[in-house]
């Protein structure tokens, strides 16, 4: 390898390292506040470049019209922490007809942790409220169900979250062509019910990390606890397989 | 001043009752009840043992207070200084207790000549009270204590009860001891000692009275004769939280108007902060030179003293103000103010949390002012209903959560998403035993792989009391949790009888 190519490779590596460090340092509290383990002990460091789920910022869940596990996943991600409870409340913003799953039923949520809920008609109001609440710093986490928004809106939400140290979980509808619009979200998730042929009890879901910044996609088979609204790995042994082998095993 | 009853020859006794932790207490009675020995303070059971057919009405403190406030406003035409007497003061704190024996004091010093003299004033007050439906008695005296006693014990006709001391000393000496507003126990003691009238106590040595009966007797006696002052709590009208500013040169520029509004809001908030009050509603009125008025009304979710917050809320509506040829007057009015509680309510609560609560309330205010007509911002609460769609209610975000709104029972497993109203599902195929095996919902075929249930939910029985309680209502729902071929868990219910059953999808479970 010539010196010039070696020099270019070193420069590229240096830029990548800077970018890598930059992502961590932009978080309040630095890398220590990153949530490294979730979903019952899954080590996310192998999949997310900053070492885990960012405690603040935008995270997205892409769902179909009948993926109700998305609501549980959103609640779980919104409540996920490193053990430092802030005591701040949770905000659930729902735009009517954004997701064709009916409305969130509050009595199904854990009774001790009722969120402030908002139901709006227009996407503009939903996004403005998200931004205002995120910037205020008075809300621990926001869950927003809204129709598709563009990269500019996603970037504004991301900046608002970083300004107010707020976590925003956006539930977005999957487009009919299966593609997703570009976004500045830290992570993008998808959860779908597993077919009954692959599960005996029925409580099986496929959780996929499908994208984000510095993310290596992954997939896990999960089960949901409806009482605590938590997700955990259904079969630890199976989930140790790499994603490609796991997909092969599932057939 | 009790309200006069109807004109029936023998009115049935009526008592007002209040429920407390020991049972039901009689807290008011009419004349018919009093004539049968029913007095406030006794238990309702005790009163019923005296008169079984007794009619009782629950106490309505709000109604009582409203009538009293109306009466005080009416008496304001005779004197601006109107005070409630001791019974009404206590009634204001702990509900009306024997309010019929209470009264109002009017300070008419230097004002009676406006009504043609004291006698004419007395007659006018009595006629006014009667026209409002109250049976009243009134008297004029030099001191509040003497007026209280004269109104109840003066032997003269109702319109001539004027007691002027020391001219009417002999009349006052004939007043019974009850004219001194003494406690029941002291009155009984005096009665046993043979001291039945004021004239019996007045010549006695003062030291002996204090030693044997305590200081209260002499205090009341001195207040009666004007030797000791008596402090009355006069009813003062609420101070209007209003700032009006007129401009010699009309404000034609929106920027100038904004500066004027800012200074007025700041002044109003400073005034409120001095009284530890916060505004809940504010009205801004801009009067143009052509007489047109533009009004902006704002509300806050919690008492607010922060001028920047109010100005921020106003700034979103100020562009709608058309200055036209100029605004000559700006009025800022706070019709609804409340006390601000900045106290530390819990030992483990830090001051930062209170600050956070204020900031959260301000955030909620900002969001509330952006809501559209169908938009909602709420705290979910629980309503005591079997029907899933009625079991969840909306509560104001800043309001306190009442215990009745908390879920106090363990509900069966409920879906995370509720489809309201339920969507119909068509039966495509049935099993040999008649249960559906395939449904069509949202134009999609749903194969029922597994079903759990039923959980029977009946309509609210208190809504259909006319029906036979053992009959199965057609609105009774049998809920099933259905797993379909895609792994989804649906919440479906069946109404109607077997063979004519109607199926609907009401929700989707997360697992």
Please check the confidence at residue A152 and state whether its pLDDT lies above 90.
Answer: yes
Question: Own/partner pairs for B235-241, CB < 8 Å, 24+ apart?
Answer: B235/B72, B235/B82, B235/B83, B235/B84, B240/B333, B241/B268, B241/B271, B241/B272, B241/B277, B241/B279, B241/B333, B241/B334, B241/B335, B241/B337
Q: How many CB pairs under 8 A join A and B?
A: 147
3-state secondary structure of B131: helix
- What span, in angstroms and rounded, lies between the C-alpha atoms of A113 and A109? 8
Handedness of CA A86, A90, A91, A97 (dihedral sign): positive
Whether the CB-CB separation of A185 and A214 falls below 8 Å is answered with: no
The answer, for B356 touching chain A at a CB cutoff of 8 Å, is yes
Distance CA(B460)–CA(B386), nearest Å, equals: 7
What is chain B's length? 511
Given B363, B411, B413, which is nearest A136 (Cβ)? B363
Q: Which residues of B229-276 form beta strands (DSSP E)? A: 242-251
Predicted confidence band of residue A157 (pLDDT cuts 50, 70, 90)? very high
Identity of the residue in B370, B372, B416 whose CB atom sits nearest the CB atom of A108: B416
CA atoms within 13 A on the CB side of B398: 18
CA distance B39 to B44: 10
Q: Which residue from B minimizes the CA distance to A117?
A: B378
Nearest CA-CA distance, residue B178 and chain A, Å: 58
How far is residue A94's CA from residue B114's CA, in Å, rounded to a whole number?
67
Task: Tell me what pLDDT residue A245 has.
Answer: 52
Q: Are B354 and B344 in contact (CB under 8 A)?
A: yes
Q: Is the pLDDT of residue B426 over 70?
A: yes
Angle at B194 between CA B190 and CA B195, to 5 degrees: 55
Q: Is the peptide bond before B454 cis (omega within 30 degrees of 0)?
A: yes
- Residue B380 CA to residue A89 CA, distance in Å, equals 13
Q: DSSP readout, A123-154?
A: HHHHHHHHHHHHHHS-EEEEEEE-S---HHHH
Closest Cβ–Cβ partner in B372, B379, B417 for A105:
B417
The structure tokens listed for B345 are 């309510």
Q: How far is Cα B505 from Cα B422, in angstroms, rounded to an integer? A: 6
- ∠ CA A167-A172-B365, nearest 5°, is 50
Q: What are the distances in angstroms from CA B42 to CA B24, B186, B270, B322?
A: 9, 20, 50, 65
Least confident among A229-238, B45-54, B343-352, B488-497: B343-352
Hey, are the CB atoms on B416 and A104 less than 8 Å from each other?
Answer: yes
Mean pLDDT of B150-178: 88
B269 vs B252: CA distance, rounded Å: 26
Per domain, the residue ranges of chain B are 14-44, 62-225, 242-355, 378-410, 417-508
pLDDT of residue B5 exceeding 50, the answer is no
Q: What is the pLDDT of residues B84-112, one digit of tens each?
A: 886 654 544 444 444 456 789 999 998 88
Which has more pLDDT, B21 or A9?
A9
Mean pLDDT value of segment A69-81: 89
Interface touch B417/A128, C-beta < 8 Å: no
- The ipTM value here is 0.82
**Binding-face residues of B in 362-421 toward A, CB within 8 A:** 363-364, 366-367, 370-372, 374-380, 382, 388, 391-392, 397, 406-407, 411, 413-420
User: Omega before A211 cis (within 30°)?
Assistant: no
A31 vs B220: which has the higher pLDDT: B220
Q: Tell which residue, B33, B62, B58, has the closest CA to residue B48.
A: B33
Nearest to B510 among A71, A125, A139 (CB): A71
Average pLDDT over residues A164-178: 86
Write out the DSSP string of B409-447.
Answer: S-PPP--SEEEEEEEEEEEEEE-TTS-EEEEEETTEEEE
pLDDT tens, B319-338? Answer: 888 888 999 999 999 999 98
Give the pLDDT mean for A30-55.
83
d(CA B352, CA B156): 67
Mean pLDDT of chain A, nearest integer:
81
Identify the CA nearest to B382 among candidates A109, A89, A93, A106: A106
How many residues does this entry show for chain A? 251
Q: What is the DSSP letter of B266?
A: H
Instruction: Tell me if chain A has a CB within 8 Å of the CB of B322.
Output: no
Q: What is the pLDDT of residues B131-141, one digit of tens each?
A: 988 888 899 99
* Residues paired with B29 in a beta bridge: B15
Is there a cis peptide before residue A43, judged by omega within 30 degrees of 0? no
- Read off the pLDDT of residues B379-412 as tens digits, 9 standing for 90 and up: 888 887 888 888 888 888 877 666 656 665 567 7
| Structure confidence at residue A212 (pLDDT) | 86
Residues of B in contact with A114 (CB under 8 A): 379-380
Q: What is the CA angle B166-B169-B171, rounded to 5?
A: 140
CB contact under 8 A, A224 and B413: no
pLDDT at B430: 85
Instruction: Quote the minimal CA–CA distance from B42 to chain A in Å.
Output: 44
> Structurally, what CATH architecture does the domain formed by B242-355 represent?
2-Layer Sandwich (3.30)
Give the number of other CB atoms < 10 A from CB of residue A159: 16
Lowest mean pLDDT among A161-165, B36-40, B496-500: B496-500
- For residue A204, the chain B residues in CB contact (below 8 A) are 487
Structural domains in chain A, sorted by start? 34-250 (3.40.50.300)
Amino acid A93: pLDDT: 94
- Residue with structure tokens 């997310």? A48
Query: How much is the CA Rg of chain B, to the nearest whole Å?
Result: 34
């Amino acid at each position: 390898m010539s010196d010039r190519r070696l020099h270019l490779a070193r420069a590229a590596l240096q830029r990548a390292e800077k970018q890598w460090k930059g992502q961590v340092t932009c978080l309040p509290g630095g890398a220590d506040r990153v949530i490294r383990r979730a979903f019952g002990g899954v080590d996310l460091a192998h999949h997310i470049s900053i070492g885990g789920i960012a405690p603040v910022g935008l995270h997205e869940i892409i769902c179909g019209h009948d993926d109700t596990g998305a609501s549980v996943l959103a609640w779980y991600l919104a409540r996920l922490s490193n053990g430092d409870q802030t005591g701040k409340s949770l905000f659930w913003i729902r735009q009517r007809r954004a997701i064709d799953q009916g409305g969130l039923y509050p009595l199904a949520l854990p009774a001790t942790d009722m969120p402030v809920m908002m139901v709006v008609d227009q996407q503009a109001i939903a996004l403005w409220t998200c931004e205002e609440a995120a910037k205020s710093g008075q809300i621990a986490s926001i869950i927003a169900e809204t129709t598709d928004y563009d990269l500019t809106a996603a970037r504004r939400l991301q900046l608002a979250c970083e300004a107010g140290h707020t976590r925003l979980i956006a539930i977005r509808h999957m487009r009919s062509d299966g593609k997703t619009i570009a976004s500045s979200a830290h992570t993008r998730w998808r959860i779908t019910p597993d077919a009954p042929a692959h599960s005996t009890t029925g409580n099986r879901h496929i959780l996929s990390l499908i994208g984000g910044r510095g993310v290596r996609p992954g997939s896990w088979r999960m089960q949901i606890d409806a009482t605590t609204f938590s997700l955990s790995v259904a079969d630890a042994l199976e989930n140790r397989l790499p994603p490609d082998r796991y997909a092969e095993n599932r057939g | 001043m009790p309200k006069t009853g109807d004109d029936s020859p023998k009115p049935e006794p009526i008592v007002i009752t209040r429920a407390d932790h020991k049972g039901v207490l009689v807290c008011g009675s009419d004349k018919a009840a009093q004539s049968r020995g029913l007095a406030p303070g006794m238990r309702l059971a005790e009163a019923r043992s005296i008169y079984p057919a007794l009619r009782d009405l629950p106490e309505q403190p709000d109604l009582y207070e409203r009538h009293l406030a109306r009466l005080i406003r009416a008496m304001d035409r005779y004197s601006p200084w109107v005070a409630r007497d001791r019974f009404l003061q206590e009634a204001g704190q702990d509900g009306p207790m024997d309010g019929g024996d209470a009264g109002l004091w009017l300070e008419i010093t230097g004002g009676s000549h406006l009504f043609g003299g004291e006698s004419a004033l007395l007659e006018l007050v009595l006629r006014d009270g009667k026209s409002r439906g109250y049976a009243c008695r009134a008297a004029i005296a030099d001191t509040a204590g003497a007026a209280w006693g004269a109104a109840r014990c003066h032997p003269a006709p109702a319109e001539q009860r004027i007691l002027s001391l020391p001219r009417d000393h002999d009349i006052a000496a004939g007043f019974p001891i009850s004219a001194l507003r003494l406690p029941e126990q002291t009155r009984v003691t005096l009665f046993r000692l043979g001291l039945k009238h004021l004239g019996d106590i007045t010549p006695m040595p003062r030291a002996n009275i204090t030693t044997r009966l305590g200081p209260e007797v002499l205090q009341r006696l001195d207040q009666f004769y004007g030797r000791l002052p008596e402090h009355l709590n006069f009813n003062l009208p609420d101070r209007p939280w209003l700032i009006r500013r007129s401009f010699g040169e009309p404000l034609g520029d929106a920027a100038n108007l904004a500066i004027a509004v800012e200074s007025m809001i700041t002044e109003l908030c400073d005034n409120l902060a001095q009284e530890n009050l916060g505004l809940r509603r504010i009205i801004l009125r801009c009067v143009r030179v052509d007489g047109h008025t533009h009004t902006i009304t704002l509300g806050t979710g919690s008492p607010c003293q922060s001028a920047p917050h109010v100005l921020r809320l106003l700034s979103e509506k100020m562009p709608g103000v058309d200055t036209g040829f100029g605004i000559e007057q700006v009025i800022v009015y706070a019709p609804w103010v409340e006390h601000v509680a900045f106290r530390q309510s819990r030992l483990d609560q830090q001051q930062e949390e209170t600050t956070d609560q204020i900031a959260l309330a301000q955030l909620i205010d900002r969001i509330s002012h952006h809501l559209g007509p169908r938009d909602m911002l709420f705290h979910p609460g629980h309503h005591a209903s079997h029907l899933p769609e009625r079991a969840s209610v909306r509560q104001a975000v800043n309001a306190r959560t009442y215990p009745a709104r908390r879920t106090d029972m363990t509900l069966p497993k409920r879906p995370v998403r509720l489809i309201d109203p339920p969507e119909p599902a068509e039966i495509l195929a049935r099993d040999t035993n008649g249960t559906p095996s395939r449904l069509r919902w949202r134009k999609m075929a749903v194969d029922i792989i597994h079903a759990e249930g039923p959980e029977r939910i009946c309509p609210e029985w208190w809504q259909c009391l006319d029906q036979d309680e053992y009959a199965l209502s057609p609105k009774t729902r049998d809920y099933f949790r259905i797993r379909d071929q895609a792994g989804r868990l649906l919440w479906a219910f069946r109404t109607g009888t077997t063979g004519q059953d109607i199926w609907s999808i009401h929700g989707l479970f997360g697992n």
